[in-house]
């Protein structure tokens, strides 16, 4: 199935010069949604994944579907101040300033095998920060599975320690 057909390019959103990859047509199509989740999970079917970590907010949608396919649990990686119990936190650079992600400290146990899932990798900053959180809990990252890779931003360079699996590669804008 050609999943790329279900991704809509929206020029100049949320600001001029950005081509936003809108995944809502894919989410709305039952067969495309199921195929995306199957393909995100597939390479890790025998990896013994204990939990899938999904990054707020589109990573929650795919992460939960992948967790179900791998018979694994799901862990939310959230924006600051959203999680009620003790958290670990990691910050990353934005074009202007920094951003932070948080995870419950007890969400990943020492040695737990973790698969990280999100919708898209751009600069890779948020994924690298999510991986740091898992490291802080002594979890073992078995891979990173993503729907879309914006190859021209070379976000992979920040994740070179990990197995990064992407379903749709966008070469240039
Ligand atoms: P980054 O930390 O730069 O890799 O950005 C990752 C997050 O920003 C992704 O999970 C997306 O949700 C969002 N994002 C960045 N660029 C785009 C884009 N061109 N289209 C849609 N979402 C984007």
Q: Which of 94, 99, 120 to mutate to test the pocket of ligand 1 (most atoms within 8 A of CB)?
A: 120
Rounded to the nearest whole angstrom, what is the distance from the C-alpha of residue 103 to the centroid of ligand 1?
19
Q: Which of 42, 56, 58, 105 is catalytic?
A: 58
Which residue stretches of the chain have pLDDT < 50?
A: none
Residues 6+ apart with CB under 8 A from 16: none
Q: What is the pLDDT of residues 142-152, one digit of tens each?
A: 999 999 999 99
Active site residue 4: no
Strand pairing partners for 74?
52
Phi-psi category of 74—alpha, beta or left, where left has phi over 0 and alpha has psi -120 to 50?
A: beta
What is the predicted pLDDT for the residue at 173?
66
What residue ranges do the domains of the chain occupy? 47-170
In whole angstroms, what is the distance from residue 59 CA to residue 64 CA?
A: 8
In whole angstroms, what is the distance from residue 129 CA to residue 89 CA?
A: 8
CB 154, CB 73: distance < 8 Å: no
The domain made up of 47-170 has a fold known as Rossmann fold (3.40.50)
pTM above 0.95, yes or no: yes
What is the predicted pLDDT for the residue at 96?
85
């Amino acid at each position: 199935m050609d999943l790329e057909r279900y991704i809509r390019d929206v020029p100049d959103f949320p600001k001029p010069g950005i081509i936003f990859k809108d995944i809502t047509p894919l989410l709305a199509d039952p067969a495309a949604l199921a195929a995306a989740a199957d393909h995100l999970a597939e390479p890790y079917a025998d990896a013994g994944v204990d939990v899938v970590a999904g990054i707020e907010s589109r990573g929650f949608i795919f992460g939960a579907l992948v967790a179900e396919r791998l018979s694994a649990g799901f862990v939310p990686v959230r924006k600051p101040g959203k999680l009620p119990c003790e958290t670990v936190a990691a910050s990353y650079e934005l074009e202007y300033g920094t951003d932070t992600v948080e995870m419950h400290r007890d969400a990943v146990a020492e040695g737990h095998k973790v698969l990280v899932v999100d919708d898209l990798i751009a600069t890779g900053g948020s994924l690298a920060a999510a991986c740091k959180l898992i490291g802080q809990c002594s979890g073992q990252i078995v891979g990173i599975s993503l729907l879309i890779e914006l190859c021209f931003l070379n976000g992979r360079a920040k994740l070179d320690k990990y197995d990064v699996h992407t379903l749709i590669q966008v070469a240039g804008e």
